[in-house]
Amino acid sequence: MNEKLISYVLAGKNRRNVLNLISQGAMTPSQILKKAKYTYLTHIIRTLKDLNKMELIECVNPEAKSYKFYKITKKGKSINEAVQKYLKEYN
């Protein structure tokens, strides 16, 4: 398991929430915004870019100008499971 990635996700509330939401199915930034009840779409978009850069999620339709869908990768799924397990044990 990659402890650095687990730590990276745990260190950011937005990263934890967004990764966990996307693990339930592919979503657009607007859908994530509504489900997570965030105030700013820019926070979601920045978080998606960070998670994508770390290869924890991927954009299904990167050529689209709007309604970009993001889904979790295999790597992201295992990291999310480890993060959720940690949160249950220590919170």
The answer to whether the CB of 73 falls within 8 A of the CB of 55 is yes
Q: How many CB atoms lie within 10 A of CB 6?
A: 18
For the chain, the structural domain boundaries read 3-90
pLDDT surpasses 80 at 61: yes
The arithmetic mean of pLDDT across residues 20-36, rounded, is 94
Q: What is the pLDDT of residue 1?
A: 65
Dihedral in degrees, nearest 10, Cα atoms 37, 43, 44, 46: -170
Burial class (CB in 10 A: 0-12, 13-18, 19+), 71: middle
pLDDT surpasses 90 at 15: yes
pTM: 0.92
Specify the fold of 3-90. Arc Repressor Mutant, subunit A (1.10.10)
CA dist., res. 3 & res. 6, Å (int): 5
